[in-house]
């Protein structure tokens, strides 16, 4: 069994969101970078659990990014995995990133490719589906559970108001979210081991971008809160009905 986990680098969840260069660039100064939580907590940890069940499993991590992504990739390797691949590209276009992942995946022939459900910065929710299409593999998005039995996967995915369980044969692409696994903390042995694991850098293939970000903006600030004394809680209901017209 060969598994590939797609790892992206995102600002820490508490990072201040601001933009520079005439609102065309994210203000990265002083920002802490982390592994995108969906990739770390769910995709990677589930892959590690599968490897623990079947020691013959080969587990690779891939990131499409610049050299500045390497500390985050090492952090992922400290949790586990045999080696990592970085495709040396700064592209922000989902199709370009997906094409790099698919090109590498084709050359190795993975049975299972795991992504997070979305990156918490660009919120694309796109890469998994694109990779699956480029590789002509089935795709399960918003997955909350994944079990393997031989070459058959049983996957639970979220749907509006509930969940759906499906059986699919490998190879398969799955986008992971909460439910898939419990977050882990890397231990000292993992951190030491990660230093000597291979981090291969490969050059990107030429792909024409389908999108480009022209600029960013921040939502307007709230007008301010209207406080209602606790003893007059019924007044809240009147305001919601007559002023806000929300109920």
Ligand X SMILES: Nc1ncnc2c1ncn2[C@@H]1O[C@H](COP(=O)(O)O)[C@@H](O)[C@H]1O
Ligand Y SMILES: Cc1cc2nc3c(=O)[nH]c(=O)nc-3n(C[C@H](O)[C@H](O)[C@H](O)COP(=O)(O)OP(=O)(O)OC[C@H]3O[C@@H](n4cnc5c(N)ncnc54)[C@H](O)[C@@H]3O)c2cc1C
| List of residues contacting ligand X (CB under 6 A) | 6-8, 36, 38-39, 43, 62-65, 94, 97, 115-116, 118-119, 122-128
Burial class (CB within 10 angstroms; exposed 0-12, middle 13-18, buried 19+) of 7: buried
Q: Which of ligand Y, other proteins, ligand X, none does residue 213 bind (CB under 5 to 8 Å by kind)? A: other proteins
Compare residues 94 and 99 and give the one whose CB is closer to ligand X: 94
CA 211 distance to own-chain centroid: 20
Compare residues 1 and 134 and give the one whose CB is closer to other proteins: 134
Compare residues 125 and 144 and give the one whose CB is closer to ligand X: 125
**With binding defined as CB under 8 A, does residue 222 bind other proteins?**
yes
Q: Which of 23, 37, 88, 207 binds ligand Y (CB under 6 A)?
A: 37
Q: Which of ligand X, ligand Y, other proteins, none does residue 171 bind (CB under 5 to 8 Å by kind)? A: none
Residues 107-146 that bind other proteins (CB under 8 A): 117, 120-134, 136-142, 144
From the list 166, 152, 150, 144, the residue with the least C-alpha distance to 43 is: 144
Compare residues 13 and 123 and give the one whose CB is closer to ligand Y: 13
Residue, CB closest to ligand X: 116
Burial class (CB within 10 angstroms; exposed 0-12, middle 13-18, buried 19+) of 189: exposed
Structure tokens at 202: 């490969």
Beta strand 162-169 pairing with 33-35: unpaired
**With binding defined as CB under 6 A, does residue 179 bind ligand Y?**
no
Structure tokens at 192: 């030491």
From the list 111, 131, 8, the residue with the least C-alpha distance to 56 is: 111
Compare residues 203 and 243 and give the one whose CB is closer to ligand X: 203
Shortest approach of ligand X to residue 96 CB, angstroms? 9
**With binding defined as CB under 8 A, does residue 190 bind other proteins?**
no
Render the burial of 15-34: b for 16+ CB within 10 Å, e for the rest: beeeeeeeeeebbeeeeebb
**Where along the sequence are the contacts to ligand Y (CB under 6 A)?**
13, 37
């Amino acid at each position: 069994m060969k598994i590939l986990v797609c790892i992206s680098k995102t600002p820490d969840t508490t990072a201040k969101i601001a933009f520079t260069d005439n609102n065309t660039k994210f203000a990265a100064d002083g920002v802490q970078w982390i592994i995108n939580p969906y990739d770390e907590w769910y995709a990677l940890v589930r892959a590690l659990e599968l490897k623990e069940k079947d020691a013959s499993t080969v587990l690779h991590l891939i990131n499409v990014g610049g050299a500045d992504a390497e500390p985050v990739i090492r952090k992922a390797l400290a949790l586990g995995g045999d080696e990592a691949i970085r495709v040396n590209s700064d592209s922000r276009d989902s199709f370009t990133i997906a094409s790099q992942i698919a090109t590498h995946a084709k050359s190795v022939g993975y049975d299972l490719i795991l992504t997070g459900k979305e990156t918490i910065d660009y919120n694309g929710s796109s890469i998994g589906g694109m990779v699956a299409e480029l590789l002509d593999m089935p795709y399960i998005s918003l997955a909350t559970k994944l079990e393997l039995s031989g070459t058959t996967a049983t996957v639970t995915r979220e749907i509006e108001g509930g969940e759906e369980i499906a059986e699919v044969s490998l190879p398969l692409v799955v986008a992971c979210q909460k439910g898939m696994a419990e977050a882990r903390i890397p231990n000292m042995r993992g951190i030491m081991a990660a230093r000597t694991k291979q981090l291969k850098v490969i050059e990107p293939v030429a792909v024409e971008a389908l999108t480009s970000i022209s600029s960013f903006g921040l939502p307007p600030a709230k007008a301010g809160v209207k406080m209602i004394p606790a003893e007059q809680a019924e007044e809240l209901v009147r305001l919601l009905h007559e002023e806000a017209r929300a109920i």
